[in-house]
Amino acid sequence: MKAVSLVSETPPPPVHVAIIMDGNGRWALSRGLPRVAGHRRGAESVKAVVRSAVANGVRYLTLYGFSSENWKRPPSEISDLMGLLRIYLRSEVAELHRQGVRLRIIGERHRLPRDIVALIENAERRTEANQRLTLIVALSYGGRAEIVAAARHLAALAENGGVEAEAIDESVFARHLFTAGIPDPDVVVRTSGEQRVSNFLLWQLAYAEFIFVDTLWPDFSEDDFEDALREYQRRERRYGATGG
């Protein structure tokens, strides 16, 4: 009788998935709708992906919500985005908490409206003990600015004797990034067919797998997310080494 293997041949899911949510504006414009309609529909995709991440055992999910460059958009669109962010933080935190999701926000908070900062701090406190999934949302975030801020902090520490310059290595530097304590993404997904990083997690994506999909973010579903997980599981990660 043939022995039955108790070891699953299915590779584990990625520990950390990062997503560049792109295409809200194009989705709306293609339907003759204002851009804010695309952002509203995109918020539904966020909920779907969070549910799927929890169900599939992903431990960290980072979403690129609002970049440093997005501050250059028309004031009316920025106002709409901030309004949607307020609604999300007021209405969805209870559901995140129920699902065992911890919320963390990374980026230059001082540029956000003060009431939104207060909502963020409250949401982070409420969910900080949750362990099923850590949801990281990048708001007012830029990868270059993050690296510069870490370098400045370490330079000040070195000047004041808080750290020896020779002791600064990659692990020390990483502890001064917004993502301190969070493992680097295993895979980054970008929607809408664009194939660029757009100043997102420049340090952290050094060895990430990249998956580009044509689907616009408002149409991105749980099935699409699971397709991306399966694509990741088919790949061989080498970290600079040769394959087997």
Q: What is the pLDDT of residues 1-47, one digit of tens each?
A: 444 444 457 889 999 999 999 999 999 999 999 999 999 999 999 99
**Contact (Cβ atoms closer than 8 angstroms) between residue 40 and residue 212:** no
Confidence of residue 172 (pLDDT cuts 50, 70, 90): very high
Catalytic residue among 22, 80, 186, 224: 22
In this predicted structure, the answer to whether residue 58 has a pLDDT above a threshold of 50 is yes
* 224 assigned to active site: no
**Which entry of 56, 70, 130, 199 is annotated as an active-site residue?**
70
Condensed to tens digits (0 to 9), the pLDDT of residues 199-216 reads 999 999 999 999 999 999
DSSP for residue 13: P
What are the structural domains, with CATH classification, of the chain?
A: 16-142+184-233 (3.40.1180.10)
* Ramachandran area for residue 117 (φ above 0: left; ψ -120 to 50: alpha; else beta): alpha
Per the annotation, the verdict on 214 as an active-site residue is: no
185 token code pair:
């993404």
Residue 1 and residue 106: Cα distance in Å, rounded?
56
pLDDT tens-digit readout, 111-129:
999 999 999 999 999 999 9
- Order of strands, edge to edge, in the sheet holding 16-20? 101-106, 133-141, 60-67, 16-20, 187-190, 209-212
User: Residue 241 has what pLDDT?
Assistant: 60
